Amino acid sequence: MVVVMDIEATEEQVQEVNQRLADYGFSSHLIRGVNRIVIGAVGDRSRMGEMGLELLPAVEKVVPIMAPYKLASREARGGPGQVPVGNTVFGGPEMVVIAGPCAVESEEQLMVAAARVGEAGARILRGGAYKPRTSPYSFQGLEKDGLELLARVGRKTGLATVSEVMDRESLDQAVAYVDMLQVGARNMQNFKLLKAVGRTGKPVLLKRGLSATIEEWLMAAEYIMTEGNGNVVLCERGIRTFESYTRNTLDLSAIPLVKRLSHLPVIVDPSHATGDRRLVPPMAAAATAAGADGLLIEVHPDPPRALCDGAQSLDPGQFASLMITIKQVAAAVGREV
């Protein structure tokens, strides 16, 4: 860290800071500039808070240098990492496309969706069994029956599966059925849940919170990783802004930024980011061009009849044409689909 001190600081005040740093096991180095006195300090960052350096006289600010997300940081690995799920890998040369309905509604609905997205090149089947709905009167998901259907259809079509868990109860159910656990935007800071999914050791798809900063998102990943589970894939799904013509605002800059900060693969969900099926293909293409390691696309056999998120769902034909575009864009930036 760097401690910036007022140029008027007295020798005693500088000594007081140095002493405090030494008491906490930090080594320090003094730099006298023209406008500032700066003390560079090296030690255990987790003790920064308890030291209370900001409270000492003549200290202007304390600036941390190392990222607070130790396991998720790029330096922790020295390069990009890979997360295997089923027989596919996130973070490799191939972009991984996850597709399927917002919610599992019936065996027929899921089977048609799975067969068609698989044919078009999707590698993982999604389907919500426990749905976090804004209204308690909306369809809440088929729960355990939904997980059973997802597992059965996944087996039949050869697709790996992912489904959202909302709490300990849904987590305990889902571990036995799915290949990847999804933590949704609304639960990104449910720290107990993050630790619990971490303990399962299963790959986790961690969505960005509705209003989460990049650092908060990476700290959420850190919670999973501190339980010994490094198989985390981050998913940018749009953030809340003042704009009301789209459901959320897709933060495309998050892709290259997170890739610079972290070794974790990053995918993009243009369906929840826009809330509008007409905006999904161009945003999927943009995410691909920006270097996303994969996409999550909502696909329903009959979107007007969907029990959840029909307006943002593609039908299988629209999904197939999206995949053709994505393959071309991916090729242009040196990736495969």
Helix/strand/coil for 230: coil
* Residue 310 near ligand PEP by CB under 6 A: no
Q: Could you tell me how many residues make up the chain?
A: 337
* Residue 165 near ligand PEP by CB under 6 A: no
Indicate the residue among 207 and 335 with the shorter CB distance to ligand PEP: 207
Torsional class of 165: left (φ above 0), alpha (ψ -120 to 50), beta (otherwise): beta
Cα 76 from Cα 82, distance rounded (Å): 14
Residues 189-228: x where in contact with ligand PEP by CB under 6 A, - otherwise, as a string? ------------------x---------------------
Helices (H) and strands (E) in the chain, counts: 11, 14
* Residue 102 near Mn ion by CB under 5 A: yes
* Residue 314 near Mn ion by CB under 5 A: no
Out of Mn ion, ligand PEP, none, which partner does residue 184 contact, by CB within 5 to 8 A per kind? Answer: ligand PEP
Indicate the residue among 184 and 281 with the shorter CB distance to ligand PEP: 184
CA dihedral 73, 222, 68, 259 (to 10 degrees): 30
* Residues forming a β-bridge with 249: 239
Compute CA distances 172 → 73, 104, 147, 148, 161, whole Å. 29, 18, 12, 14, 16
Selected binder of Mn ion within 309, 314, 329, 337 (CB under 5 A): 309
Out of ligand PEP, Mn ion, none, which partner does residue 165 contact, by CB within 5 to 8 A per kind? Answer: none
Pairing of β 124-126 and β 96-100: parallel
Selected binder of ligand PEP within 272, 277, 300, 335 (CB under 6 A): 272
Indicate the residue among 62 and 250 with the shorter CB distance to ligand PEP: 250
Selected binder of ligand PEP within 83, 110, 165, 185 (CB under 6 A): 185
26 HSE (CA, 13 A, CB side)? 24
Selected binder of ligand PEP within 20, 116, 123, 237 (CB under 6 A): 237
Out of ligand PEP, Mn ion, none, which partner does residue 207 contact, by CB within 5 to 8 A per kind? Answer: ligand PEP
Applying CB under 5 A, which residues contact Mn ion?
102, 309
